[in-house]
């Protein structure tokens, strides 16, 4: 007899905020809560928790309908629509920003919201961590996910826990080509790093335990600019991680965020800044619309119910991380409009940079004898894993 599986769905969208891109208004949270409460009463979802990370409305839901369920996604879409309606009534900034369509088409993927989902048979005790970032892109989770599931200096269980010792499988998604590749750690660690070290293109989408294929983590991979064809806001990703009892301990997962690494996003989605883990009460972005923030909530899942949450970064143990992040923010801000604070040209194509180049194109003159570099690119045949040996 097949055992009942629980699905955890974390779906977010920027539907408008108070005083610029700062924080979600409580009335929009209330509007979304009413929709999800009705869905719970009807049995569409089993449980839910509504919160925010900066200016993003976050829906955390449990159910038994599997990933990409049209019913569950429609509930989320309706919640965002109702919250956006309240945003417009209150005159909030960027009301409905992430909702790129008026009509629901069976799935919120491609419509603007970001989604991280995983389905599993519950263990006797099923603790999970939900991470929600603001003012950054999905690739922001690449470094910490690698450290959690492949770095023994971060995760002691990779050395001393028999269930972790055989390693994990990383599904790496190419957002430009719309395809993914599964790589094994530690065997193919260097190949993994070769890809995910370019977080604007290659994203850790899912992680599985190698010993039995059990899912360990799921990360949203939606890139808004690639969907809309223009800059409409940063992607603000979400992630779900299973912890303890055959997976990395909660402390090992959180340890990966003790280093406030540089991520793309921040002001207008066009700058690098430190990812700063904060408690829920500090989940608002102010300085230069940032720095990029990360909220972590811990839950127990039992019979598809959510017990919790625990505010994971509401701990003085992360005070030095936040202090380091502020020092890094000072350092990066002093670069002003110069790289490496501002993103490179490949990431600026959805901003005003193409307009500036178009305006000035007749004023550029050819310099005789000057070398012209070929545009660098990654050969796609190297990603297919079907390339001939020696290529």
Out of 12, 169, 234, 284, the active site residue is 234
Q: How remote is the C-alpha of 325 from its chain's centroid? A: 19
In this structure, which long-range contacts are made by residues 159-162, counting pairs with CB atoms below 8 Å and at least 24 apart in sequence? 161/246
Tell me if 237 sits within 8 A of 141, measured CB to CB. Answer: yes
Alpha helices in the chain (DSSP H): 26-41, 70-90, 142-150, 157-160, 162-165, 189-196, 224-228, 250-255, 319-333, 353-360
Out of 27, 40, 68, 231, the active site residue is 231
The verdict on whether 173 is a catalytic residue reads no
Rounded to whole angstroms, how far apart are CA atoms 266 and 254? Answer: 22
Rounded to whole angstroms, how far apart are CA atoms 78 and 11? Answer: 12
The verdict on whether 388 is a catalytic residue reads no
The verdict on whether 98 is a catalytic residue reads no
Q: Give the chain's count of helices (H) and strands (E).
A: 10, 15
Structure tokens that stand for 65 in this block = 């309908």
> Which SS3 state, helix, strand or coil, does residue 209 take?
strand
> Which SS3 state, helix, strand or coil, does residue 284 take?
coil
Catalytic residue positions, numbered: 14, 231, 234
């Amino acid at each position: 007899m097949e055992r009942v599986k629980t699905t955890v769905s974390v779906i977010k969208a920027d539907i408008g905020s108070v005083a610029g891109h700062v924080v979600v208004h409580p009335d929009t949270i209330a509007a979304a809560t009413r929709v999800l409460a009705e869905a719970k009463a009807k049995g569409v979802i089993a449980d839910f928790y509504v919160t925010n990370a900066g200016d993003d409305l976050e829906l955390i839901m449990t159910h038994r309908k599997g990933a990409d369920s049209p019913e569950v996604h429609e509930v989320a879409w309706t919640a965002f629509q109702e919250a956006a309606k309240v945003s417009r009534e209150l005159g909030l900034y960027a009301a409905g920003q992430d909702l790129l369509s008026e009509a629901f088409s069976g799935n919120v993927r491609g419509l603007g919201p970001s989604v991280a989902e995983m389905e599993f048979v519950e263990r006797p005790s099923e603790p999970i961590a939900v991470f929600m970032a603001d003012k950054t892109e999905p690739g922001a989770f690449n470094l910490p996910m690698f450290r959690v599931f492949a770095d023994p200096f971060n995760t002691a269980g990779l050395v001393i826990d028999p269930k972790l010792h055989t390693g994990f499988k990383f599904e790496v998604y190419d957002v430009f080509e719309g395809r993914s590749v599964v790589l094994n750690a530690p065997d193919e660690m260097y190949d993994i790093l070769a890809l995910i070290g370019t977080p604007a293109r290659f994203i850790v989408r899912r992680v599985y335990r190698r010993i039995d294929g059990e899912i360990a983590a799921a990360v949203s991979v939606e890139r808004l600019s690639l969907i809309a064809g223009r800059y409409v806001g940063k992607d603000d990703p979400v992630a779900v991680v299973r912890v303890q009892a055959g997976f990395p301990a909660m402390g090992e997962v959180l340890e990966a965020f003790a280093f406030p690494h540089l991520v793309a996003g921040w002001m207008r989605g066009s700058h690098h800044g430190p990812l700063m883990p904060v408690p829920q009460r500090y989940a608002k972005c102010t300085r230069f619309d940032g720095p990029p923030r990360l909220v972590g909530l811990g839950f127990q899942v039992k019979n598809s119910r959510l017990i919790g949450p625990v505010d994971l970064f509401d701990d003085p143990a992360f005070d030095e991380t936040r202090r380091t992040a502020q020092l890094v923010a000072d350092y990066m801000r002093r670069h002003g409009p110069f790289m490496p604070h501002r993103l490179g040209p490949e990431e600026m194509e959805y901003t005003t940079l193409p307009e500036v180049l178009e305006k000035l194109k007749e004023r550029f003159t050819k310099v005789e004898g000057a070398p012209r570099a070929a545009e660098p690119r990654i050969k796609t045949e190297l990603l297919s894993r079907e390339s001939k040996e020696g290529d």
